[in-house]
Amino acid sequence: MSKNSVEKPYHVANAGRSLSLRFLLLFPVFAFCVLYSIGVANAAEKLVVATSKSGWLIWIAQERGLFEDYGADVAVELVESGVEAGKGLIDGRYDIATMSEFAFVSRSFSNVDLRIFGTAAAIYNVRLVGRLGSGLASFSDLPGKKIGLRTGAIGEFFLGKTLDLHGTSLEAVQIEDIPATDLPNAVADGKVDAIVSWEPYATEAQGLLGDDAMFADLQSEQPYYFTLSASQKTLIENQETIERFLQALIDAAEWAQRNETEAMKLLGRVLNLNLDDLERFWSGHVMEVAITQDLLFLMEQEARWRVERGLSAGGIPNYLERLETGPLERVAPHHVGVIQ
């Protein structure tokens, strides 16, 4: 030992070794507690999915246990329409919302964080149902009539386009904003002259009116798309759950295509829908998880229509930027058909 060195007392010299030993002994316990806490936290964080009776794929996936099979920790809630689902998404009540692309466009001007990460169907079921007793026999009879519909929903757009084609406009009719579930009774009770809605409410209204019903399709050959929407923040923070959710929906679509009768019975039971009605409008509800170029085209067209009629203000958003194709590209790249 050099003359400048000082021998440390035994308890000081061994303090470092004791601390190291205690750390080595306690580290596994500490690591287990941290990992357990993370696991518990993740297990408690279900993504809440809001969908209406139009969300066939979601109801099929839930009833067949596909979300659980794929490890997608989600809870599904029934809502009246995509308008309600979109409002809840913005308010933070829901993490994922299903809505028509028009309902998404209606909110896109003031909610720049919203994204579409897929569609669950291409649908042809928007119809006008009116009372013959109100003097409605054709589209030319609509000016001056009171029309019930869900404003901000897809029916508003298709009614507007139909009126445009017949030389008039939305301004020529009286619009009443009515929840989709209340529309059939509204026209049957004479509160409005006609309604514009989708299934099953259009068929329900026709049944209530009986021989007094005037019934017309509004879409021609153009479907609307039932979108899967979420905030950009939700998509970033829950990437794995979102991808598992999409996988479950793709599985549900493939099963429904192979087993139409069983799928109809499942939906009839879960959504309290008449099987004869389901068979009648089954072909107009094409269940497929996708992101298509036609979706992008339709959103741009609808945005221009809203701006031209003063329903939305500001410049038209770049909808290519509002499509988050990443999750679906990683799960099923052949389901993405958008030109970047």
Mean pLDDT on 95-118: 97
* Percent with pLDDT over 70 in the chain: 87
For residues 303 and 321, give the distance between their C-alpha atoms in angstroms, rounded to a whole number.
Answer: 14
pLDDT of the residue at 24: 40
CB 150 within 8 A of CB 81: yes
Surface-to-core class of residue 154, CB atoms within 10 Å of its CB (0-12 exposed, 13-18 middle, 19+ buried)? buried
* pLDDT value, residue 273: 96
Q: What phi and psi values does residue 125 have, to the nearest 5 degrees?
A: -150, 20
Q: Give the model's pLDDT for residue 220.
A: 84
Choice between 140 and 27, residue whose per-residue pLDDT is larger: 140
The model's pLDDT over 200-259, given as tens digits with 9 standing for 90+, comes to 999 999 999 999 999 999 998 899 999 999 999 999 999 999 999 999 999 999 999 999
Give the pair of three-digit tokens for residue 191.
């509160």
Averaged pLDDT, 181-209:
97
Positive or negative CA dihedral for 293, 150, 314, 321? negative
45-123+224-335 CATH: 3.40.190.10
Mean pLDDT along residues 317-335: 98
Q: What is the pLDDT of residue 4?
A: 45
What CATH number should be reported for the domain whose range is 127-217? 3.40.190.10
Residue 164 confidence (pLDDT): 92
Task: Indicate if 127-217 has the same CATH topology as 45-123+224-335.
Answer: yes
Domain positions in the chain: 10-43, 45-123+224-335, 127-217
Handedness of CA 139, 141, 145, 146 (dihedral sign): negative
**How many Å apart are CA 184 and CA 132, to the nearest integer?**
15
Strand order in the sheet with 194-197: 174-177, 146-149, 194-197, 127-131, 213-217
